[in-house]
DNA sequence: AAGTGGTCTAGACCACCGA
DNA sequence: CGGTGGTCTAGACCACTTT
């Protein structure tokens, strides 16, 4: 019945390297629904026997599927099709907190604190926050989860002058700032893509090398003072950020022509 | 002189798997500037001898560095530290074309066409463009480069009613639309991260699995009619998208209560 | 204790590049 | 042509999970 791993149809030179043929077979089986989330694959040694390939080649074929989060491997247990992660869509042009954003969706939010305290700033923080000599920085580092699924790593730095008591933050940073009349009204974000390192991948429960969104944010008070400098890592397979664009201001085409000239 | 690959300090059990120790050594050498862009690494077989590891292990240690774009391997030639790619920052909240955006930076723009013509739409295009039965779609697929470096893959679909002659587009799509009075004034984008597949990675000249930004955009005319549906892939290591946020309006109770701002 | 994935080896052949 | 990376093998031991 399960001819997914039959030795037939594995011919070198036919359609590229053997490990890619295997990769394609499994990827198609997942895409077509033949392999469903939670299904287990045969043990690597078993696949090797069935396909007539070596175990090294089997692992190489599986590797990319693990790296892209489609398969999950558990030592001592087995290889499984990854559970489907519901994609969340988040508006980028509004300044909201994670807590508020999730509450609006009616979802549970959990935080796992990695670090919460006052420290000596690193140069990056001095720059972003505009700190003076001797100023200390409040650092909040946590993994954000929703319904038990880790979605993001958030590393926030604030001037100690703004948040002298980081331990006071239990859930929502913005909630506390808001209660103190320090809610940011403007922020600038930079978004890029990155491959997760072993550490961050582990925190998010995905494989090393999985694509993630890196978002750096600097938030400002009405007065122009910097409130926070946050570096976040969002799971690429769990998030869509949405943004609405307006027509570029200025006299459209002629502007580009002038500047290009 | 070059003790990067000396057998000393390679001890199992000491600090994790051997391939990770090798990975760390090389990554640190790159980060510290000891290995500079363009430098070549010794051949794999040579590294294996120097370190006392097997070639398979050497390759495994190098693998992640290639996947993340820090090293480039050329068959028949060697392994090299990747040239530094200058990060471009692009404003997300303005609706500009790639051509205009680059011209504004005073950079050369090249396009390599992969496809340009009229086709029968796929369901995804019918949905996004609001096509009727029998409508055809203009498809523009190209690799965008700047100063010879591939930066993005752009796959645009437009109703044939908007662009009956896709061959007319030589450089800027928006330029042609603008000249015809069809310039979009509003667009909605969705941004996510993805691992590049072998095909797209090759088009962008990076390794399979490298993180990239996937941006889907739907653009509208003043009349509300959909002009284009574009799926783009941007190199994660070459782009920063910037967006400015405003205070979320009327989102939670506490804000409504204390709101003066 | 048995079975799983994780790591590692030594050696082989191929495809491609450059002199 | 020689040297490079790309693929593949058979077999070994380890660390962990499950039973």
CA distances for B165 relative to A261, B111, B113, B123, B229, angstroms:
28, 18, 15, 22, 17
What band does A252 get if pLDDT is binned at 50, 70 and 90?
A: very low
Asked if strand D comes closer than 7 Å to A76 Cβ, the answer is yes
Contact across the interface for B209 and A213, Cβ inside 8 Å: no
C1'-nearest nucleotide to the CA of A54:
D9
Is any Cβ of chain B less than 8 angstroms from the Cβ of A252? Answer: yes
Taking 50 as the threshold, does the pLDDT of residue A250 lie above it?
no
Contact across the interface for A259 and B183, Cβ inside 8 Å: no
Contact across the interface for B209 and A209, Cβ inside 8 Å: yes
The distance of A134 to chain B (nearest Cα, Å) reads 28
Q: What is the pLDDT of residues B154-201, one digit of tens each?
A: 999 999 999 999 998 887 888 888 888 888 888 888 889 998 888 888
The token pair at A8 is 């037939």
- Per the CB < 8 A criterion, the answer to whether B216 and B230 are in contact is yes
Q: What is the pLDDT of residues A101-124, one digit of tens each?
A: 777 777 777 888 899 999 999 989
Neighbour count for residue A237 (Cβ, 10 Å): 21
Lowest-confidence region among A75-79, A246-250, B120-124, B134-138 = A246-250
In this prediction, residue A11 carries a pLDDT of 66
Residue B188 has φ and ψ, to the nearest 5°, of -120, 130
- Per the CB < 8 A criterion, the answer to whether B124 and B137 are in contact is no
Q: What is the mean pLDDT of chain A?
A: 83
Q: What is the pLDDT of residues A153-171, one digit of tens each?
A: 999 999 999 999 999 888 7
Which of B106-115, B136-145, B147-156, B236-245 has the largest mean confidence? B136-145
Rounded distance between C-alpha atoms, residue A189 and residue A205, angstroms: 25
Among 3.30.750.24, 3.40.50.300, 3.40.50.1370, 3.40.1410.10, what is the CATH number of B88-242?
3.40.1410.10
Higher pLDDT, A261 or A248: A248
Cα B245 from chain centre: 23
Contact across the interface for B245 and A93, Cβ inside 8 Å: yes
Is any Cβ of chain A less than 8 angstroms from the Cβ of B184? Answer: yes
In this prediction, residue A177 carries a pLDDT of 87
Lowest-confidence region among B61-65, B146-150, B181-185 = B146-150
In this prediction, residue A261 carries a pLDDT of 28
Parse chain B into domains and list their residue ranges: 18-81, 88-242
Residues A66-99 as b/e (b if ≥16 CB within 10 A, e otherwise) read bbbbbbbbeeeeebbbbeeeeebebebbebbbbb
User: Would you tell me which residues 60-99 of chain A have a C-beta closer than 8 angstroms to some C-beta of chain B?
Assistant: 64, 67-68, 87, 89, 92-96
Chain B residues whose CB is inside 8 A of the A212 CB are: 193, 211
Lowest-confidence region among A22-36, B78-92, B111-125, B183-197 = B78-92
Is any Cβ of chain A less than 8 angstroms from the Cβ of B240? Answer: yes
Q: Is the domain defined by A18-81 classed in CATH 1.10.10.10? A: yes
Residues forming a β-bridge with B244: A188
DSSP A253: H
Taking 60 as the threshold, does the pLDDT of residue A91 lie above it?
yes
Please state the three-class secondary structure of B35-61 as a single string. Answer: CCCCCEECCHHHHHHHHCCCHHHHHHH
In this prediction, residue B252 carries a pLDDT of 37
Interface test with B, best of A182, A237, A248, A251 (most B CBs within 10 A): A248
Contact across the interface for B248 and A212, Cβ inside 8 Å: no
Residues forming a β-bridge with A227: none
Q: What is the mean pLDDT of chain B?
A: 83
Residues A178-213 as b/e (b if ≥16 CB within 10 A, e otherwise) read beeebbbbbbebbbbbbbbeeebbebbebbbbbbbb
Distance B199 CA to C11 C1' (A): 32
What band does A212 get if pLDDT is binned at 50, 70 and 90?
A: very high
Higher pLDDT, B33 or B15: B33
3-state secondary structure of B123: helix
Residues forming a β-bridge with B149: B146
């Amino acid at each position: 019945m399960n001819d997914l791993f039959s030795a037939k149809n594995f011919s070198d030179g036919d359609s590229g390297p053997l490990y890619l043929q295997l990769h394609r077979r499994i990827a198609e089986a997942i895409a077509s629904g033949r392999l469903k989330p939670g299904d287990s694959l045969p043990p690597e040694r078993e696949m090797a026997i069935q396909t007539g390939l070596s175990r090294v080649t089997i692992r190489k074929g599986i590797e990319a599927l693990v790296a892209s989060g489609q398969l999950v491997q558990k030592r001592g247990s087995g290889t499984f099709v990854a559970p489907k992660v519901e994609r969340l869509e988040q508006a980028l042009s509004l300044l909201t907190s994670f807590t508020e954003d999730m509450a609006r969706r009616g979802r549970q939010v959990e935080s796992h604190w990695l670090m919460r305290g006052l420290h000596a700033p690193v140069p990056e923080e001095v720059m972003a926050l505009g700190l003076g000599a001797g100023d200390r920085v409040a650092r909040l580092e946590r993994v954000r989860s929703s319904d038990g699924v880790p979605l993001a790593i958030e590393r926030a730095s604030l001037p100690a002058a703004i948040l002298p008591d980081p331990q006071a933050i239990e859930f929502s940073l913005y909630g506390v700032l808001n209660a103190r009349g320090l809610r940011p009204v403007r922020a600038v974000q930079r978004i890029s893509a990155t491959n997760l390192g072993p550490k961050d991948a582990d925190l998010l429960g995905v494989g090393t090398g999985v694509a993630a969104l890196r978002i750096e944010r600097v938030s400002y008070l009405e007065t122009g003072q910097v409130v926070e400098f946050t570096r976040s890592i969002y799971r690429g397979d769990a998030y869509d950020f949405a943004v609405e664009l307006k027509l570029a201001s200025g006299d459209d085409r002629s502007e580009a022509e002038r500047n290009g000239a």
